Amino acid sequence: PSFNAFFRLLPNRRVRIYFLKRDLPPAVVRNYFGNGQFVMPSPFELPADLLKMLGIDYYNILSGDYLVQEDHEYYILDVWTTLVW
């Protein structure tokens, strides 16, 4: 599935992804965010337009399990990468 998200480059070279809760169907919340872990089954390369906005040349999100944080509006993930400045 594909959903709108906001991205931010953190000082520790991670990318933080914000998913707006109100845009996610209940089944997606249950399957992808419900157990406190978001599973990225395979690596994912960020698109060129997003890389340009973040000011980096390359960012490949590594596969694995990522801790889900949340606040009143967002599900938040800090993801690991292979990063080139």
The tens digit of pLDDT for each residue in 35-67 reads: 899 988 888 888 999 889 988 888 888 888 999
* Type and span of the H or E element at 51: helix 48-54
Query: Helix, strand, or coil here: 85?
Result: coil
Predicted TM-score of the model (pTM): 0.84
Nearest to 19 by CA among 79, 76, 80, 68: 76
Q: Exposed (0-12), middle (13-18) or buried (19+): which is 75, by Cβ within 10 Å?
A: buried
Nearest to 38 by CA among 84, 79, 81: 79
